Amino acid sequence: MISTSAAASEASGSFTVALTALPAAPGGAAQHSLDKRFSGDLAGTSRGVMLSAGDPAKGIAGYVAMEVVAATLAGRNGGFALQHNGTMAAGGQQLNIVVVPGSGTGALAGISGTMVIRIENRQHFYTLRYELPASP
């Protein structure tokens, strides 16, 4: 549910993701295309590319990704890019996802924010904390 305050808003919901293996990147990093479908407060799709390295089977790895979202958010149609970086090791997991500055298009121009992803029973959920300029 979308909630707003003077400084920020929050959107939440779920998404599906399909990964497709691509040829290895220079240096041997694994490379995948991403295709997502968002539902809930953010409704739309995204496409992107992910690079990963390490040994995920042993719980030690990292990844970076860039995805471009086309969606409706708070009644506004447009798009923006999300930049990911994540690691996992014996000390736990770290995941940072930010809205790329200057990437907003259409009625989402000027958007800024961060996204948190959680996975429960193999289902993906998101919380997007964002700011948008006042509607024109």
pLDDT score for 74: 93
- Tell me which amino acid residue 109 is: A
Report pLDDT for 134. 83
Given CA atoms 69, 70, 76, 81 in this order, what sign does their dihedral have?
positive
* 17-47 tens-digit pLDDT: 999 999 998 888 999 999 999 999 999 999 9
- pTM as predicted: 0.90
CA 73 to the chain's CA centroid = 14
The predicted pLDDT at position 56 comes to 84
**How many CB atoms sit inside 10 A of residue 95's CB?**
14
Which residues of the chain are modeled with pLDDT < 50?
Answer: 1-6
What pLDDT, on a 0 to 100 scale, did the predictor assign at position 136?
Answer: 57
- How high is the pLDDT of residue 67? 98
pLDDT on residue 28: 87
The DSSP 8-state label assigned to residue 6 in this structure reads S
Average pLDDT, the chain: 92
- Which residues touch 78 (CB under 8 Å, ≥6 apart)? 70, 71, 104, 105, 106, 107, 108, 109, 111
Which domains are seen in the chain, by residue range?
3-131 (2.40.350.10)
Task: State both tokens at 36.
Answer: 């997502």
Residue 28 sits at φ, ψ, to 5 deg, of 90, 5
pLDDT of residue 5: 39
Among the listed residues 42, 104, 106, the one whose alpha carbon sits nearest the alpha carbon of residue 74: 42
